[in-house]
Amino acid sequence: MPKVLFINGPNLNMLGVREKEYYGSQTLEEINTSLSSMAAQKGVAAEFFQSNHEGELVDRIQQGYGKVDCIIINPGALTHYSIALYDALKLLQVPVIEIHLSNIYARESFRNKSLISPLAVGGIFGLGPIGYNLALEAACQLLEKE
């Protein structure tokens, strides 16, 4: 069974509480529950990890070496400056899909650059929680082709 690892970076544990105008009212737990159901229906194993600490995110990505078939990542604020996340994701040599609840390209200028985008097969920006579902659908289709 193919395995998709969902990685969520800093402050995403506060979904449903923080800046609802950008991030909506759903919690990360609610999003993950929905994704678990969708993954089961599609015959994919979904695993979830969130941390506010860059090193923990890097460690979890590295632990996926040879064990995960795709990564869907919302790196949060680390999107814009974490070379460590970029290097860890590149090491795995699996498809990476970048996701952001808000449109990072329509916000403050410091959010307009993603270090993750150049290695991602694609990205979903600004569609809120449904973006995670779209990313899982894309991952399933990519994995079918392999």
Q: How would residue 109 be classed by pLDDT, with cut points 50, 70 and 90?
A: confident
Which of 22, 23, 65, 86 is the catalytic position?
23
Quick one: tokens of 72? Answer: 């869907």
Residue type, 25: S
Angstrom distance (rounded) from CA 69 to CA 113: 26
Render pLDDT for 17-40 as a digit per residue (tens, 0 to 9): 887 877 788 999 999 999 999 999
pLDDT classification of 104: cutoffs 50, 70, 90: confident
Rounded to the nearest 5 percent, the helix, strand and coil shares of the chain are: 50, 20, 35
Any residues with CB less than 8 A from the CB of 25 and at least 6 apart, and which? 16
Domain that holds residue 30: 3-145
23 is catalytic: yes
Options 65, 80, 86, 100, the catalytic residue: 100
Closest CA to 75 of 56, 92, 94, 91: 56
Task: Answer yes or no: 80 catalytic.
Answer: no
CATH code for position 130 = 3.40.50.9100
Q: Is the pLDDT of residue 91 over 90?
A: yes
How many domains does the chain contain in total?
1
